[in-house]
Amino acid sequence: MQTIILRFLLLIVCIPFAIGSAGQPPLPDWALGPFARPAGINPVIIPDTQSIFFDPMSKQNLAWEAGDVFNPAAAVKNNKIYVLYRAEDRSGKGIGKRTSRLGIAESSDGISMKKEPVPVFYPAEDGQKEYEWPGGCEDPRIAVTKEGLYVMLYTQWNRKVARLAVATSKDLITWTKHGPAFLKAHNGRFKDLFSKSASIVTRIENGRQVIAKVNGKYMMYWGERFINIATSADLINWEPALGENGGLELVVKPRKGYFDSDMTECGPPAIITEKGILVLYNGKNKGNNDRDTNYTANTYAAGQVLFDLNHPSKVIGRLDQPFFIPEAPFEKSGQYPAGTVFIEGLVYFKNKWFLYYGCADSRVGVAVYTPDSASR
């Protein structure tokens, strides 16, 4: 029975579809989707001026999610979806000038959200203070081991250098911070590298999406301007892959004239399928003549890229047009009026795929992909 379930779930990832979302082009058979926004539902998480939290850094009560909420991670626990989202207070003006903390919301159906009144992850008087204060903790991605350990990759922002960092938890509420992911790699060479956005490789096992190994090691795709690779033996200490010239191996780069002409930033956890390793990512359009003129200048839209499982740095498929674009007014306003759908959370839950995303750095939205049983 377990073998049948596994084959069924892998088939869900790989089956072709005839039409894309909102007039988008058809997806190839290796891509995931199409994703559709449930009618009248979004945004599912919005700012709240009434949520008050005693901040251990400033030693005062403050409205920790009064500014904007966006860029969510997602995980499944006890037959519920939990969304950890980035929340900004109103301590400053402009992108990157406030303090970010991570709130949590739970859902039995993936759509209706019940938020906790206080954050579950934030800067504190701890060993990570120098990396996280005053900018905070940003843009989480979460995956889980088959033993039930949740691993979160997030950005530490001290308003000097952004660093990709690791935290772990057994319950999604109490977290252990492990510090910068690349602290020890290559004799500390990348300790102060501006780094963010990590997609740990996962697979479907017995109906669960769990962290997997590739060629004997844990692996993640990571990066903001480019997509890179890193490997780990323990999910805490990560080693970036290097190219022949000794620099970072850049496995995906922006493309002139395409929707991802400026940036290719990793999205939610990657998935091993029968076709390869599938990575959903955020592509930023340039603001000049090198951009894709079919989309607004500087907009963020979502793409997909497929890697060879045996050679994880080898691209064997890549969408030329985004599968998910800003459409609703709240996805084209707020802190980022050029338009943003920024994907970070992806879970398989009750025979559907739920994709959680940031809306113009101001709200949290959800889109759902329901596999067509007639196409199996």
pLDDT band at 154 (very low <50, low <70, confident <90, very high): very high
- Round to whole Å and give the CA distance between 186 and 42: 44
pLDDT at 9: 44
Question: What is the arithmetic mean of pLDDT over 134-152?
Answer: 98
Residue 23's pLDDT band (cuts 50, 70, 90)? low
* pLDDT confidence tier of residue 374, bands split at 50, 70 and 90: very low
* pLDDT tier, 361 (very low <50, low <70, confident <90, very high otherwise): very high
Residue among 57, 125, 135, 64 nearest 95 (CA) = 135
pLDDT tops 60 at residue 10: no
Backbone angles phi, psi at 229, to 5 degrees: -125, 145
Task: State mean pLDDT over 219-230.
Answer: 97
Mean pLDDT of the chain: 92
Q: Look at residue 97 in the predicted model and tell me its pLDDT.
A: 83
pLDDT band (50, 70, 90) for residue 128: very high
% of residues, the chain, pLDDT over 70: 93
CB hemisphere CA count around 112 (13 angstroms): 2
Q: Is the pLDDT of residue 45 over 70?
A: yes
Tell me if 346 sits within 8 A of 302, measured CB to CB.
no
pLDDT of residue 205: 93
Identify the pLDDT of residue 20: 37
pLDDT value of position 13: 39
Question: Can you read off the two tokens belonging to residue 179?
Answer: 């510090």
Encoded amino acid at 288, one letter: N
User: What gap in Å lies between CA 137 and CA 132, rounded to an integer?
Assistant: 6
Q: Does residue 24 carry a pLDDT above 70?
A: no
What integer is the mean pLDDT of 222-248? 96
Per-residue pLDDT reduced to its tens digit, 66-98: 999 999 999 999 999 999 999 999 988 777 789
Stretch 22-43: mean pLDDT, rounded?
90
How much is the pLDDT for 108?
98
Provide mean pLDDT across the span 204-222.
96
Q: How many CB atoms lie within 10 A of CB 335?
A: 18
**Is the confidence at residue 6, as pLDDT, over 50?**
no
- pLDDT of 325 > 90? The answer is yes
Q: Which of 69-73, 239-243, 309-313, 334-338 has the lowest mean pLDDT?
A: 334-338
- Percent of the chain residues topping a pLDDT of 90: 86
| pLDDT value at residue 4 | 41
Q: What is the pLDDT of residue 92?
A: 80
pLDDT at 170 over 70: yes
Q: Is the pLDDT of residue 21 over 50?
A: no
